[in-house]
Amino acid sequence: MTDVRDQVDAQIHHWIRPEIASLAAYPVPDSTGMLKLDAMENPYGWPDSLTAQWHEALANAQLNRYPHPDAPEVKTALRTVLKIDPSWDILLGNGSDELIQLIAMAVSGANRMVLAPEPSFVMYRMIARFVGMDYVGVPLTAAFELDLELMLSRIEREQPAVVFLAQPNNPTGNLWGDEKLRRIIEATPGLVVMDEAYTAFTDADYLSWLDDYPNLLIMRTLSKVGLAGLRLGILVGDPAWLEQINKLRLPYNINNLTQISARFALDHFDVFEHQTAELTRQRRLLQQQLAALPGLTVFDSQANFLLVRTEPGRAAALHAALKETGILIKKLDGSHPLLADCLRITVSFDAENQRLLAALEQHLLTA
């Protein structure tokens, strides 16, 4: 047995690409029994009557058959709900993570570069590595704004094949302003993907910019609205771009249960709109309440989470203390120099926010 084990290690060392061997898999902590405020999920369930109707819809699922390869009914419903112009096409992914991967695979090659402001969504960098591309992270300012001059000079130097711009940005929660975004899109030789994962929590909406730029794609997801478990990401853009990217999509990537459930949920989208509107209201309240706690700086957010900074050196202990009391938030301290002493808190409904505030207050006052 030992021999085989040794051989496995040797073979891995020989065959697995070094940049993959040196990567850690995307970390997902065990959240069993915890108050989960770490992953920007919608905390609300569905009204019972809706759940019953959904179960009826699922009863018709034919799991012996492959799903429709293009999920046309889901796309039609998305067009209505998201107001997607008929001149643009839609490509669906198993979450927007899969779409990021498809885009990267489509443009990858020797000396092909992915560029993104940092800190931002970590999958841009990870996926660039997966597909063997170079990655350049361009630091935001200390206030998490875009450093336009730096971005423009890096774009000029690196000539990126794709630039990812998350708006609102994760984990900072802010918007970077139309003027800077336009300058970046105009300066980028390759594709620009505007990742609007948190669109439900902001008035900003860049879908109409597709009319202005031949190198722009818009990415959305149903995850943050309340359907993270479905895994449905949405890429919108010129049919010619999407035709190319679609070639890399594995057949049947959107399974039967997801197609039926998404179709059903989109027919009842007002339920999610009410929930996200309430979470947006709760975000404003929670921001004020967190800011009133001793030693916490809270950053403005246009998303369903808040970035907070503790006093120097306190973030890890606070994160651990909350975990002890059964509350899971995201520790960002240590993940990027600009995020020193930072934590990210997903906004929930009032009772859960109050539980978080009480636990935080206790730890901040006693530590």
Ligand X SMILES: Cc1ncc(COP(=O)(O)O)c(C=O)c1O
Residue 361: CB atoms within 10 Å: 16
Write out the binding residues for ligand X, residues 59-118 only, by CB under 6 A.
Answer: 95-97
Task: Tell which residue, 126, 112, 116, has the closest CA to residue 159.
Answer: 112
200 binds ligand X (CB under 6 A): no
Note whether 304 and 119 are within 8 A (CB): no
Nearer to ligand X, 31 or 159 (CB): 31
CB of residue 160 to ligand X, shortest distance in Å: 18
Q: Burial letters for 322-347: b for 16+ Cβ neighbours within 10 Å, e otherwise?
A: bbeeebbbbbbbeebebbebbbbbbb
- Backbone angle region of 116, left / alpha / beta, with phi > 0 → left and psi within -120 to 50 → alpha: beta
Under rule CB under 6 A, residue 40 binds ligand X: yes
Which listed residue (42, 108, 170, 302) binds ligand X by CB under 6 A? 170
Q: Which is nearer to ligand X, 96 or 258 (CB)?
A: 96
Q: Choose between 99 and 359: whose C-beta lies nearer to ligand X.
A: 99
Q: Which is nearer to ligand X, 104 or 359 (CB)?
A: 104
Least Cβ distance, residue 137 to ligand X (angstroms):
14
> In what helix (H) or strand (E) does residue 77 lie, and over which residues does it extend?
helix 72-82
Smallest separation (angstroms) from ligand X to the CB of 2: 40
Compare residues 89 and 98 and give the one whose CB is closer to ligand X: 98
Q: CA angle 144-150-151, nearest 5°?
A: 80
**Across-strand partners of 113?**
134
Return the number of the residue (160 or 233) whose C-beta is nearest ligand X: 233
Pairing of strands 113-118, 162-166: parallel
Place of tokens 């994962």: 197
Phi, psi for 217 (deg, rounded to 5)? -125, 150
Least distance to ligand X from the beta carbon of 305, Å? 9
Closest residue to ligand X, judged by C-beta, is 95
Nearest alpha-carbon partner for 203 in 227, 178, 179? 178
Selected range binding ligand X among 172-180, 206-214, 221-229, 244-252, rule: CB under 6 A = 221-229
92 vs 327, which CB is nearer to ligand X?
Answer: 92
CA dihedral 283, 289, 295, 297 (to 10 degrees): 30
Residue count at the site for ligand X (CB under 6 A)? 13
Contact in structure between 321 and 254 (CB atoms under 8 Å): no
Query: Interface mask (CB under 6 A) for ligand X, residues 231-250, using x and -?
Result: --x-----------------
Nearer to ligand X, 169 or 287 (CB): 169
Stretch 119-138 residues interacting with ligand X (CB under 6 A): 121
In the set 128, 166, 175, 193, which binds ligand X (CB under 6 A)? Answer: 166
The end-to-end CA distance of the chain, in Å, is 50
Tell the smallest beta-carbon distance from residue 234 to ligand X (Å). Answer: 9
- Strands 297-298, 113-118: pairing is unpaired
Residues from 247 through 276 that contact ligand X (CB under 6 A)? none
Tokens, residue 193 = 């993907």
Residue 199 as a binder of ligand X (CB under 6 A): the answer is no
- Selected from 223, 259, 280, 310, the binder of ligand X by CB under 6 A is 223
C-beta closer to ligand X: residue 42 or 188: 42
Residues forming the site for ligand X (CB under 6 A) = 40, 95-97, 121, 166, 170, 195, 197, 221, 223, 228, 233
